[in-house]
Amino acid sequence: MKKIIVFILFLPILSSAQEYVDVLKFGYSNTFDAKFEGTDESTNVNSYTAAITFPIELNEKHALITGIDFSSYHLLLSPDYNQTTTLYNTLLKIGLASSYSEKWSSTIVLLPKIASDYKNISGDDFYFGVYAIAKLKKNEHFKYRFGFYASTESFGVFATPIIGAYYLSPNNRFEVDAALPITANVNYKLGKAAVGFNYFAIGRSYNISQETSIPVYVDQRPIEFSSYFQYGILENSILLRAKVGYSSNTNEVYEQGDQLDFRISAFSFGDDRTQLNPDILGSAFIKFEAIYRIHFKEKNKDSNN
């Protein structure tokens, strides 16, 4: 068990060059009164998220990554539908983290998933993704990262390059953690508390089996900006966050089989699809998160002592 904790140092998919890793994470959010364009109707978007990652050391330079992520989104997709829909996403993480030198390391993770309303699961609900990233340690306070993410989706193939960096100030108070265009986090620590800014954006799709005149899928592309207050307990091993922000609420409905050619980051090519629901306009949201975090330096010091 001690080896597993120490080897988490080589997990850039999670730590991305920090001196910690979040092994457990739970969240709940509520997006308020998201209106349908051109109508007086609106919907709330309630979501739950959970993630766990467990690394297994293979040798001094390689570790197997295992884990699972789960999320659900509950909303009304169109004023014309008789009922709300819950979109579920269950994703497995199976990969390899490697350390090549003091400066270079990498991670490659396979990401099979099931994404749908989970009413009648079929082969159309299964998708496959891959995440690959390398990191370069510039100095004790600054690291680069670059790589890509790609996945099959109901609308076709989605891919995006990943370019980012990690910075921690010498006094350990100011932190920047970015892997654009997917996520970015900036925070400033005030003892056990911290204030910060968070950005998150990634595309997903869900096969829908609910009663509609034709079989459909949801093309979900939320872009979220939020500020947050964080409080740490048990020497910051458990973090509690309260967020307030704005979400684009993009949940477009299309007929199954109506696809685009491919999508790179935010750019779609060959997209002549016919959208079957009104656009859901952006609105404010609140989110609460609980995180269990392991700090490498503290654990390593305890081991040395």
Q: Which domains does the chain have, with CATH numbers?
A: 2-304 (2.40.160)
Secondary structure (DSSP) of 29-62: EEEEEEEBTTSS-EEEEEEEEEEEEEEEE-SSSE
pLDDT tens string 112-163:
999 999 988 888 899 999 999 999 999 888 999 999 999 999 999 999 999 9
- In terms of DSSP bridges, do strands 262-264 and 156-168 run parallel, antiparallel, or are they unpaired? parallel
Cα dihedral 169, 200, 235, 190 sign: positive
The pLDDT of residue 214 is: 84
Which one has a higher pLDDT value, 108 or 82? 108
Structure tokens at 48: 């739950």
Helix (H, G, I), strand (E, B) or coil at 154: coil
Using pLDDT thresholds of 50, 70 and 90, give the confidence band for residue 235: confident
Q: How confident is the model at residue 211 (pLDDT cuts 50, 70, 90)?
A: low
pLDDT in the model for residue 297:
54
The count of other CB atoms within 10 Å of the CB of residue 120 is: 12
The better pLDDT of the pair 14, 127 is held by 127
Distance in angstroms (rounded) separating the CA atoms of residues 254 and 273 = 7
Per-residue pLDDT reduced to its tens digit, 274-305: 999 999 999 999 999 999 988 765 444 443 33
pLDDT score of 12 more than 60: no
